[in-house]
Amino acid sequence: MKKGDKISFGGYEWRVLDVQDNKALIITEYIIEQRAYHEAYKDITWADCSLRKYLNGEFYDKFAAAEKSRIVPVLNKNPDNQWYGIKGGTDTEDSIFLLSIEEVVCRYFGDSCSKLKNPGKNQRYWFERKDENNSKRIARLDDEKRRIWWWWLRSPGHVSVKAVYIHGDGNIGIQGNNILKGNVSDGRCTGGVRPALWLKV
């Protein structure tokens, strides 16, 4: 198993982002569902949000016992938002999680770290519309239409009722979307979920 490979696990397709010490970091190839980051509109961090509770509870329990035995719990750092200084919250032990800003910018979808640490004078809300790595972050819904859609990261936005997301064009909305952002007509949250986990290989 190596970076870039596509694998099947637990009924989903996954992409291998990293391999080290006989374990692989994998993320679902598609956006597997649409959910709110948190169930209430209030200041929140990844440690206490309902999406984390769901991924490490109900979603985790969908895996068979043999599959669970291969999922490696990890201690995730949750840095503050690099542009706005909004607190990322406490470190968390997660079996299943969302990626952070730093992980999608600096590590697993190309290295655009210099732009994260040195934003341009006009970069107030968007990371970089012309970043050469945007295309690597584009994701599609896991449905018949395979529409391109936006998806959540675990990092906070420019206030604590927002979470950072990846736009449909692969650009990073570092200012964040409302944690309950939904469709105007029915109120259903349309935030895409791409779970990640470390897998024994």
Q: What is the residue extent of each domain of the chain?
A: 6-200
**Model confidence over 99-115: pLDDT tens digits?**
999 999 999 999 988 87
- Supply the pLDDT for residue 114: 82
- How much is the CA Rg of the chain, to the nearest whole Å? 16
- Supply the pLDDT for residue 186: 57
Mean pLDDT across 128-141? 90
Of the candidates 112, 101, 182, 171, the one whose C-alpha atom is nearest the C-alpha of residue 138 is 171
Residue 127 contacts residue 171 (beta carbons within 8 Å) = yes
**pLDDT averaged over the chain?**
91
Residue 105, classed as helix, strand or coil, is helix
- Tokens, residue 128: 């970089």
Q: What share of the chain is helix, strand, coil (3-state, %, to 5)?
A: 20, 30, 50
Residue 165, classed as helix, strand or coil, is strand
Residue 94 contacts residue 103 (beta carbons within 8 Å) = no
Mean pLDDT across 164-179? 92
Q: How far is CA 52 from CA 76, 94, 123, 157, in A?
A: 12, 8, 29, 16
Question: For residue 164, is pLDDT > 80?
Answer: yes
Question: For residue 92, is pLDDT > 90?
Answer: yes
**Model confidence over 11-60: pLDDT tens digits?**
999 999 999 999 999 999 999 999 999 999 899 999 999 999 999 999 99
